[in-house]
């Protein structure tokens, strides 16, 4: 089935929203716990309710790995359901992998072959050979951790490495790697003031921006500092959407929460 690009989806849906499925059995509505696969049942209903408002879905693998084999089965069922029913939605494995080359190659096979993800988040700090196996896969994207949304980002990422901050050195170096056109970058919404500088380094790349909503990031600030002529942003919201209600109306509440963000995005895109 032919799919449309992220840029086309942004134009069609008037949205650059990414919904994060950080699904925790302790937080989903209690009636779902009677289901054979509570996590998948929850995810499926969220996806069906909000798919027309989002251009991407990010699955944080830790929330599935925590449940062992059953959690991994829920993850696989979720990504395959998206690919079967909503193939235009861009899928992200938020796995933050990164290891020596032959290990990274196996991670790439796991998420790009055994599982049909479009992209994966990768930690860059072991260098080019640890990222190259992901970049070597055609029609897939590698999303490099550049400047994260957590408080601890200031421990290392913004510290000077020679004459420039470490995150800038990472971005400049990575942008020169083979197949760097397949790179995207994670930049936290809580670091919006850094986005203008980042855009001077990678003017054409897509940025995955977590931290809007529950973590306090400003959508308007992110768009003002981080957008380019193709928008170039995937702004993620997880808890604020998927846990909008813990009752039987959880899916419709998630849709309402997603729509509030999409309406803001449509206004920004119209400016």
Distance between CA atoms of 24 and 264, rounded to whole angstroms?
A: 28
pLDDT digits (tens, 9 = 90+) for 74-131: 999 999 999 999 999 999 999 999 999 999 999 999 999 999 999 999 999 999 999 9
According to the per-residue pLDDT averaged within each range, which of 54-58, 153-157, 160-164 is highest? 54-58
Question: What angle do the packed helices 166-174 and 128-135 form, to 10 degrees?
Answer: 50
Round to whole Å and give the CA distance between 109 and 260.
Answer: 37
CA distances from 107 to 96, 104, 119, 144, 258 (A): 10, 5, 12, 15, 31
Q: If you average pLDDT over every residue of the chain, what do you get?
A: 94
pLDDT given for residue 67 in this prediction: 97
Residue 190's pLDDT is 73
pLDDT digits (tens, 9 = 90+) for 189-213: 777 788 999 999 999 999 999 977 6
CA torsion sign, 143 to 144 to 147 to 153?
Answer: positive
How far is the first Cα of the chain from the last one, in angstroms, to the nearest whole number?
A: 34
Indicate which residue of 14, 96, 260, 267 is catalytic. Answer: 96
What are the phi and psi torsion angles at 11 (to 5°)? Answer: -70, -40
Beta partners for 217? Answer: 212
Question: Is residue 83 annotated as part of the catalytic site, yes or no?
Answer: no
CATH architecture of 6-270: Alpha-Beta Barrel (3.20)
Residue 42 confidence (pLDDT):
98
């Amino acid at each position: 089935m032919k799919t449309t690009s992220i840029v086309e989806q942004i134009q069609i849906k008037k949205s650059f929203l990414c919904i994060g499925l950080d699904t925790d059995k302790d937080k989903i509505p209690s009636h779902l716990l009677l289901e054979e696969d509570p996590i998948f049942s929850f995810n499926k209903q969220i996806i069906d309710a909000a798919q027309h408002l989002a251009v991407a879905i990010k699955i944080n693998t830790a929330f599935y790995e925590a449940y062992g084999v059953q959690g991994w089965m829920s993850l696989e069922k979720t990504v395959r359901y998206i690919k079967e029913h909503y193939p235009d939605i861009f899928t992200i494995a938020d796995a933050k992998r990164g290891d020596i080359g032959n290990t990274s190659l196996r991670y790439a096979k796991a998420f790009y072959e055994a599982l049909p993800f479009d992209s994966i988040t990768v930690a860059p700090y072991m260098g080019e050979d640890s990222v190259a196996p992901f970049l070597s896969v055609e029609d897939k994207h590698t999303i490099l951790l550049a400047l994260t949304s957590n408080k601890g980002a200031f421990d290392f990422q913004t510290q000077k490495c020679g004459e420039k901050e470490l995150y800038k050195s990472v971005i400049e170096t990575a942008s020169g790697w083979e197949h760097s056109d397949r790179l995207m970058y994670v930049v936290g919404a809580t670091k919006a003031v850094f986005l203008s500088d980042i855009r001077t380094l990678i003017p054409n790349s897509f940025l995955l921006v977590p931290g809007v909503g529950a973590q306090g990031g400003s959508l308007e600030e992110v768009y003002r500092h981080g957008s380019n002529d193709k928008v170039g942003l995937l702004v993620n919201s997880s808890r604020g959407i998927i846990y909008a209600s813990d009752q039987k109306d959880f899916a419709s509440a998630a849709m309402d929460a997603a729509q509030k963000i999409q309406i803001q995005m449509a206004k920004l895109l119209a400016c």
